[in-house]
Each structure stands twice: as structure tokens, then as C-alpha cells.
């Protein structure tokens, strides 16, 4: 078809195709960038520490009382994808009278099913698998019924260890909610995030390469380039267009990253507010335990005061120390171990400490990426022109050791 067009028309098609491919990869990059942020924002928690509407990563074994049975392979599972293929042989005669025989496998039947399952990490929660992005299907192989008919399947089998990203919903199930997908994968949280980050780099590479290559080839066609020297001008034209394209792409990524820094900052504030909301109960427990904990009472009460992020950064070390000191009160007052209110408060505060630690770590990771982008060449040129500046980290010198729960001691 292209052979029937003149060279100028082909050049236009090549340039347009390169631009369209670049736009497609740039769009995919924007979506993947947001996806990586969502994956990284959710902390790795255990089932028992979840609160309503928490987005989190869970890891455990797949359980189900009434599992599915994968056809043909008779494997107990909670999801499967199964197909039957038959061999087809076709004979073709070309224009020169030569006969060619081709053999292909054609799908004659396919089916897939998924049911909710229970994720077991010591505690249990129902995962709404039919609404999930299921990356955990594993091949059961291919078996031949006869020489020209074969069966193949993938399944998520009982007992498999999987990681699940999702949200604890009001009905007690774990599933997608408000922009957070339900993702089931055999990879750990960190492995899945790194995989998403690597794909971002490739999307950016292809979003620049395709428009550049398309323009170079189109310019060469317009100039009727026949020798190597004739490609210098097309290469220069491509580079001249590549620079502003890279500038725009880099600026857009910086803007998205700045928005992610603000979102991570907001998440830190939310977790700190949840910790402050427990202070009245903490104070009541301390007062009931002993009248000698006056200094701790004053420090706990100070946690209730809200403030800006810089104020939160300055106060975090003292506030976390006070909260954790309250979590160790049972060591000075053993009678608290039998206090149901203290035990409940202890578990809730331990969970909040885990979330605060993750939110702070995620904020610092996001800010570190931001600072690297705005300070490293060549992206710093875009950052300087746009007035983008480095941001401070959140309390980097804090001890990250989390308090143990009462039943872990």
C-alpha cells in the first residue's frame, strides 16, 4: 500500500505515526506514574491492623472452603483461565503455482472464572477477587488430548502466597475503592513497585524515541537522502524538535511529582491527626495507672495541638517518644496488661505508629525523588526555569524501631 504512494505522502505518514506513538507512550507514562504512586503510598500491614477505608498491602496464603475446580486439570483454585485448541492445517497456492502448507492452533473453547477467597496471614479477610487485577495466575502447562487437540490453563491455586493491594471496605471485605485498585500478585510489595518504576523509564524512552525517529526518517524522505551525509540534516531537525519535546515531558513529570509530594505530605498529616485523636484515651489510661506520670501527661497532651508541616517536623521526635513511652506503661504497671481498654488502645496505637512510620518514609522517598529531579542535570534546567525548589525531609533522624504488640512480647 505504501508503495503506491509518493515519497512525500509516505514521509507525512511516517512523521504522523511517530508522533502518535510518542503521544501514546507519553499517556501511558502519565498513567504509570500515577499507578506507581498509588502502589507506593499503601503500607504493608497485617489483616488485624486494618481500619475501615485503609488502603494497604497484605500478604498471606489463599484459602477457600468451596473452591473452583479447573476443567481438565482437576486443580482446586479460586480463579482459572482455560482453553482448548485444535490444530488446523491449510494449503495455499501462490501466484507462481507453489503450494504452501501452514499449521496453526486455533482456540475452539475458552472460559475463565474467579470467586472471592480468604487471605490468611494469621488473621483472615475476604478478598473480592472477581473485581481484581489478577497477576497471580500460574500456568498449569499444556496437555494433549490427542495429537491435534490440546488443553492449557492458568490458575490461582489454594495455598499460594500472594500480595494483595486494596482497601478495607465497609462490609469488611478487601477490594477496590475510590481510585485504589484491587491487585493480586505473587510479587512482594517492594518487587511490584520496582517493576512499575522500571516500566516508567521505558515508557519515557519510547515516548521520545518514536517521534524523533519518525521525524528523522520523514525529513530524509522529503530530502531524498541517499547517502550517509544526507542524514545529517534530518538528524539535526529531529534533535531540534526532540529538545522542546523533552522539556515539556520533563516539566509535566515534575508537576506530577510535586502533586505527589503534596499528597504524601497530606497523608502524614492525616496519620498524625489519628494519633492525636487517641490522646484523650491515653491520658485517661495514664491518670488511672499512676498520678506520678505528670511529665508524660503533659507531653501527651501537647500532641493534641495541630500545626503546619514544619511544626509537625520539629515536634515529631518528642511526640513519637511520648506516644511510645505510653505504650510501654505496662512494663512499669503490670496491672495494665489485664486492662481491656489499655490493650485495645495499645493495639490501635501500635497500628497508627506503623502507619505514621510508613507515611513519613513514603513522604521522604517522594521528596528525595523530587529533590533529585530538581537538582540533577539536565532536569534541573527545567526546574530552575519553572521556579521549582528542593523540599525538606520529614524528621530523617528518627529511630524507626516500632513498638511491639502485647501478644508479640
Joined grid coordinates for residue 18: 511517530
Whether omega before 395 lies within 30 degrees of 0, making that bond cis, reads no
Distance separating alpha carbons of residues 28 and 382, to the nearest angstrom: 22
Single out the residue of 205, 278, 215 nearest to residue 18, CA to CA.
215
Check residue 392 and give its pLDDT: 83
DSSP 328-371: THHHH-GGGGG-HHHHHHHHHHHHHHHHHHHHHHHHHHHHHHHH
**Residue 297 DSSP SS3:** helix
Distance separating alpha carbons of residues 291 and 276, to the nearest angstrom: 22
CA angle at residue 141 from 137 to 144, to 5 degrees? 140
Distance separating alpha carbons of residues 263 and 389, to the nearest angstrom: 17
pLDDT, one tens digit per residue, over 184-243 is 999 999 999 999 999 998 999 999 999 999 988 888 887 775 666 667 777 888 888 888
Q: What is the mean pLDDT of the chain?
A: 84
pLDDT, one tens digit per residue, over 71-112 is 999 999 999 999 999 999 888 777 677 788 888 999 999 999
As a whole number, mean pLDDT of residues 168-181 equals: 93
Single out the residue of 345, 18, 347 nearest to residue 209, CA to CA.
18
pTM beyond 0.85: the answer is no
Question: What is the b/e burial string over 34-50, where b = at least 16 CB atoms within 10 angstroms of the residue's CB?
Answer: ebbbbbbbbbebbbebb
Distance separating alpha carbons of residues 241 and 212, to the nearest angstrom: 7
pLDDT, one tens digit per residue, over 255-294 is 999 999 988 888 888 887 887 777 667 667 766 666 666 6
* Residue 408, pLDDT above cutoff 80: no
In this prediction, residue 66 has a pLDDT band, given cuts at 50, 70 and 90, of: very high
Joined grid coordinates for residue 51: 481500619
279 Cβ partners below 8 Å, 6+ apart?
Answer: 300, 301, 303, 304
Distance separating alpha carbons of residues 266 and 273, to the nearest angstrom: 10
Check residue 222 and give its pLDDT: 79
pLDDT, one tens digit per residue, over 335-348 is 777 777 877 877 88
Amino acid at each position: 500500500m505504501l508503495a503506491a504512494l509518493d515519497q512525500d505522502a509516505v514521509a507525512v505518514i511516517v512523521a504522523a505515526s511517530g508522533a502518535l506513538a510518542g503521544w501514546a507512550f507519553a499517556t501511558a507514562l502519565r498513567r504509570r506514574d500515577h499507578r506507581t504512586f498509588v502502589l507506593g503510598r499503601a503500607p504493608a500491614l497485617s489483616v488485624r491492623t486494618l481500619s475501615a477505608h485503609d488502603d494497604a498491602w497484605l500478604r498471606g496464603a489463599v484459602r477457600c472452603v468451596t473452591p473452583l475446580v479447573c476443567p481438565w486439570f482437576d486443580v482446586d483454585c479460586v480463579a482459572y483461565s482455560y482453553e482448548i485448541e485444535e490444530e488446523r492445517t491449510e494449503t495455499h497456492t501462490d501466484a507462481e503455482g507453489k503450494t504452501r502448507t501452514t499449521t496453526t492452533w486455533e482456540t475452539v473453547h475458552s472460559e475463565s472464572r474467579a470467586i472471592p477467597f480468604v487471605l490468611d496471614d494469621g488473621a483472615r479477610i475476604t478478598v473480592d477477587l472477581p473485581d481484581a487485577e489478577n497477576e497471580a495466575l500460574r500456568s498449569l502447562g499444556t496437555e494433549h488430548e490427542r495429537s491435534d487437540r490440546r488443553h492449557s490453563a492458568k490458575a490461582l491455586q489454594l495455598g499460594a502466597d500472594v500480595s494483595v493491594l486494596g482497601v478495607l471496605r465497609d462490609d469488611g471485605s478487601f477490594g477496590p475503592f475510590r481510585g485504589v485498585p484491587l491487585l493480586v500478585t505473587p510479587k512482594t510489595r517492594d518487587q511490584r513497585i520496582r517493576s512499575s518504576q522500571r516500566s516508567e523509564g521505558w515508557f519515557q524512552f519510547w515516548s521520545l524515541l518514536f517521534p524523533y525517529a519518525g521525524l528523522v526518517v520523514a525529513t530524509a524522505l522529503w530530502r531524498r537522502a541517499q547517502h550517509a551525509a544526507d542524514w545529517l540534516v534530518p538528524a539535526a531537525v529531529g534533535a531540534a524538535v526532540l529538545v522542546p519535546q523533552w522539556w515539556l515531558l520533563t516539566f509535566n513529570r515534575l508537576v506530577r511529582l510535586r502533586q505527589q509530594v503534596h499528597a504524601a505530605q497530606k497523608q502524614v498529616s492525616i496519620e498524625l491527626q489519628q494519633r492525636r485523636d487517641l490522646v484523650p484515651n491515653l491520658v485517661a489510661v495514664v491518670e488511672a495507672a499512676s498520678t506520678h506520670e505528670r511529665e508524660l501527661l503533659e507531653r501527651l497532651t501537647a500532641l493534641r495541638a495541630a500545626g503546619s508541616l514544619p511544626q509537625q517536623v520539629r515536634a515529631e521526635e518528642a511526640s513519637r517518644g511520648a506516644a511510645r513511652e505510653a505504650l510501654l506503661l505496662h512494663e512499669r504497671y503490670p496491672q495494665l496488661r489485664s486492662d481491656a481498654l489499655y490493650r485495645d488502645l495499645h493495639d490501635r496505637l501500635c497500628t497508627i505508629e506503623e502507619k505514621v512510620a510508613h507515611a513519613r518514609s513514603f513522604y521522604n522517598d517522594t521528596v528525595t525523588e523530587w529533590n533529585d529531579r530538581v537538582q540533577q542535570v539536565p532536569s534541573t534546567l527545567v526546574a530552575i526555569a519553572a521556579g521549582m525548589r528542593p523540599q525538606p525531609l520529614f524528621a530523617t533522624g528518627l529511630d524507626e524501631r516500632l513498638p511491639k504488640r502485647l501478644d508479640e512480647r
